Structure formats: structure tokens, C-alpha cells
């Protein structure tokens, strides 16, 4: 018994004296390790008679518990002492001058896309996405543009070689965001309310065309949808986007294969010191294509056009940015010229909100 008591006292003294985590670990190995003194006692239980074991067992186990918890407590104490010592050496001198303000800026295209997402989220639209490498069927056929349709030629499509066909489908760089309509109708049940912003590609380049540009698509599919819903949605959107209540819309009959009837949407402008300012109706600028989703498109997505109707619209994000923020050459959007980015870019904290004015 005295053996146990003195071993206990010895172990606790060693634990108490351990001045570092390493020293504590050494004590742990000496007592509780494989060859440790406490472990040896525990092993000796096996050789004892049952009566002996009855008295010695609890005593030895008690010793093991006392040593284990003393080690754990000491470990905590040593660790927090080490942390405190480290914290005492790590100081931040708040009197030092702040680093230079962040030099980057948010590209107008990203800013406008954020503004659009904010405006449409408020009207209950989710953001949908689709691939930029698209197949023929989603980009054209399902949108009621069959192989022989002249609209295919109008799109100046970048095709992948025939040999790169996937499952017999010719691949291409999507020429518009409209295929996201198809993907959304195939993967979600109505009611559907989505916008799909993203990159699109056409083989075309001048001051107002670049081979890659950005569009945003809108799609609503539900029962009993009519053109009044389309007009209200576009009017609400354009007023919020241009941050003016006097935005006037003009819907002109037009043609798109995937909508029937189709309308092009113009916004009115006023000339102020020879510059076009959105608002009023002195002149008109085309901003959107739109219409009621063609029954064939609805049917191509496996929905019954007698049950579901919808409207769709599409527009160029870069063009919207140019109209709102006054740039005149689209090519500059993609030149990566720092002077342009500094001039037209937005600070990272200029997050568009409806309450702050979207473009604040
Ligand atoms: N996809 C058309 C284009 O790239 C734009 C467009 C027009 C989209 C009418 C639509 C729409 O959804 O209804 O020129």
C-alpha cells in the first residue's frame, strides 16, 4: 500500500514540476507508458489472487485516474501559458499608417450583372446558368431554329469541328443565352422565373461588336401568362436599372423564331446638351428583344403549351452598361487597359442594392 501512496506522491510531484510540454510527456511515458510504473502495477493485477485483486484493483485504478487527470490538467495549464506567452509577443501597432487603399476595381460588366440580379431577385427571379460550350440542339433546334433556318447563318456561329461532336450533337460556342431557357424548362417544373446572365460568342468585331460579349436572358413560365406581364416586368426592370421614373417604353412588333408574338423594346431618350439621356421620348433606342415563348419551344421542353405559357426576353449586358455609364466603344471593355478600368470601374464595396440605388 505504501508503495502505491509513495508512487502517487512521486508521480504528482513530477507532474507538478514539469516545466514544459516535453517534460510532461516524459512523465506520462514514465508512469502511463507501455513500460511505465503505473502500467506495471496494472499488469500485476493479472497475477493476483481474486481476493487480493479486489482490494488492489480499485486502488491501482484510482492511482491511474489520479495520474491521468493530473497530467491532463497540467497539459491545459502549460498550453494556455504557451498561448499567453505567444500572444504577449504578437503585437499589432495600431498607430502604424494604414496600407494603401485596394487598387483593383469591379468591371462595369460585373457591376451591371450584379445590379440586374438584385433588381430581378426583388421580383422573384432566380439566377440560372448553362454551359458556354453548347450543342446545336439547345442553341438552335429546341428554340425553333431548325437546320435550314436563315437565323442560324445570322448568328455567325463559332462551331467546333464535326469530329468533336458529342453523342452525335455538333458542338458550338453558344451564340446567345436563350439555350438556358431550354435547360431550365427541362430541369425545373413551372412556375419558372429566372434570369440567365453570361458570356456569348459570335464571329463579329467592330466598335459595337466583340467576338465575346455578355447577354442576360429572362424567362417566365406559368399558367395564364400574357404580354401584360411581360410589359410590366420590363418597365419595372428598366426604371429600376436606369434609376429614373420617367423611362418610357415602346414595344415594336418584331420576329424571333422562339417567340410568338415577338416585340423589340425601345426606351425613350431626351437630348441634353447634345447627349442622349434616358427618359422622355424625343428619340428611341432599342434595348431588348422579347416575346411570348413559342408553343413549339414549350413543347420541345416536354410541357403542354395549352397548359403553360410564358414570356422571354434577352439583351446585351455590355450594351446596357454602355447606355447607363456612358462608354462608347465596346472593344475597350475587354482591352484590360488600367486607365479605362480605373475610370469606369467600381469600388469593391459598391454593392448594388435597391435601397441605395442599384448603381450607387
Ligand atoms: N436571343 C436573342 C439574340 O441573341 C435575344 C432574344 C430575343 C432573347 C427575344 C429572347 C427573346 O429571349 O424573347 O439576339
- Cα gap 247→268, rounded to integer Å: 7
266 and 278 Cβ atoms separated by less than 8 Å? no
pLDDT digits (tens, 9 = 90+) for 140-187: 999 999 888 877 776 789 999 988 888 888 899 999 999 999 999 999
Q: Which fold has domain 108-344?
A: BirA Bifunctional Protein; domain 2 (3.30.930)
For residues 114-140, give the mean pLDDT.
Answer: 96
What pLDDT is attached to residue 307? 97
pLDDT digits (tens, 9 = 90+) for 51-63: 988 988 999 999 9
Report the DSSP pairing between strands 192-201 and 126-127: parallel
Contacts of 135-141 with CB under 8 Å at 24 or more apart are: 135/166, 135/169, 135/170, 135/171, 135/172, 136/169, 136/170, 136/171, 136/172, 137/169, 138/174, 138/179, 138/182, 138/183, 139/172, 139/174, 139/175, 139/176, 139/178, 139/179, 141/300
Angle between helices 317-325 and 227-242 (to 10 degrees): 50
Lowest mean pLDDT among 52-66, 112-126, 215-229: 52-66
Task: Measure Cα distances from 148 to 71, 144, 173 in Å.
Answer: 83, 11, 19
Q: Exposed e or buried b for every residue in 30-49, given b needs 16+ CB within 10 A?
A: bbbeeebbbbebeeeeeeee
What pLDDT is attached to residue 66? 94
Dihedral sign for Cα atoms in the order 133, 137, 143, 147:
positive
Cα of 317 from ligand 1 centre, angstroms: 13
Report the atom number in ligand 1 closest to the C-alpha of 217: 12
157 CB contacts (<8 Å, ≥6 apart)? 139, 172, 173, 175, 202, 203
What pLDDT is attached to residue 333? 93
Cα of 262 from ligand 1 centre, angstroms: 10
Q: Which residues line ligand 1 (CB under 6 A)?
A: 176, 178, 217, 256, 259, 289-291, 312-314
- Cα gap 29→319, rounded to integer Å: 73
pTM of the model: 0.72
Going by the DSSP 8-state scheme, the letter that residue 101 receives in this structure is P
Cell of 90: 504578437
> Ligand 1 pocket: which of 258, 288, 291 to mutate (most atoms <8 Å of CB)?
258
Amino acid at each position: 500500500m505504501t508503495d502505491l501512496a509513495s508512487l502517487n506522491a512521486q508521480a504528482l510531484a513530477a507532474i507538478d514540476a514539469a516545466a514544459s510540454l516535453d517534460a510532461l510527456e516524459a512523465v506520462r511515458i514514465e508512469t502511463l507508458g507501455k513500460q511505465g510504473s503505473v502500467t506495471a502495477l496494472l499488469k500485476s493485477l493479472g497475477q493476483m489472487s481474486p481476493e487480493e485483486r479486489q482490494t488492489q484493483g480499485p486502488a491501482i485504478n484510482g492511482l491511474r485516474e489520479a495520474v491521468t487527470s493530473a497530467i491532463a490538467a497540467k497539459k491545459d495549464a502549460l498550453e494556455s501559458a504557451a498561448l499567453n506567452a505567444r500572444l504577449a509577443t504578437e503585437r499589432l501597432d495600431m498607430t502604424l499608417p494604414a496600407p494603401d487603399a485596394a487598387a483593383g476595381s469591379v468591371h462595369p460588366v460585373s457591376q451591371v450583372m450584379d445590379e440586374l440580379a438584385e433588381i430581378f431577385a426583388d421580383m422573384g427571379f432566380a439566377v440560372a446558368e448553362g454551359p458556354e460550350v453548347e450543342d446545336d440542339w439547345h442553341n438552335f433546334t429546341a428554340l425553333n431554329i431548325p437546320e435550314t433556318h436563315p437565323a442560324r447563318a445570322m448568328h455567325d456561329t463559332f462551331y467546333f469541328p464535326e469530329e468533336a461532336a458529342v453523342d452525335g450533337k455538333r458542338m458550338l460556342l453558344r451564340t446567345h443565352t436563350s439555350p438556358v431557357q431550354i435547360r431550365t424548362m427541362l430541369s425545373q417544373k413551372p412556375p419558372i422565373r429566372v434570369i440567365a446572365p453570361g458570356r456569348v460568342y459570335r464571329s463579329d468585331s467592330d466598335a459595337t461588336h466583340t467576338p465575346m460579349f455578355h447577354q442576360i436572358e429572362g424567362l417566365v413560365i406559368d399558367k395564364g401568362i400574357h404580354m401584360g406581364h411581360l410589359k410590366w416586368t420590363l418597365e419595372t426592370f428598366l426604371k429600376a436599372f436606369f434609376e429614373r421614373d420617367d423611362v418610357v417604353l415602346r414595344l415594336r412588333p418584331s420576329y424571333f423564331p422562339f417567340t410568338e408574338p415577338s416585340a423589340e423594346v425601345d426606351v425613350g431618350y431626351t437630348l441634353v446638351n447634345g447627349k442622349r439621356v434616358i427618359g422622355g421620348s424625343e428619340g428611341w433606342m432599342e434595348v431588348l428583344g422579347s416575346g411570348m415563348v413559342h408553343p413549339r419551344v414549350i413543347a420541345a421542353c416536354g410541357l403542354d403549351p395549352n397548359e403553360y405559357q410564358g414570356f422571354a426576353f434577352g439583351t446585351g449586358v455590355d450594351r446596357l452598361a454602355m447606355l447607363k455609364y456612358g462608354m462608347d466603344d465596346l472593344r475597350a471593355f475587354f482591352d484590360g487597359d488600367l486607365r479605362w478600368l480605373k475610370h469606369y470601374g467600381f469600388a469593391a464595396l459598391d454593392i448594388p442594392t435597391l435601397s441605395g440605388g442599384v448603381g450607387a
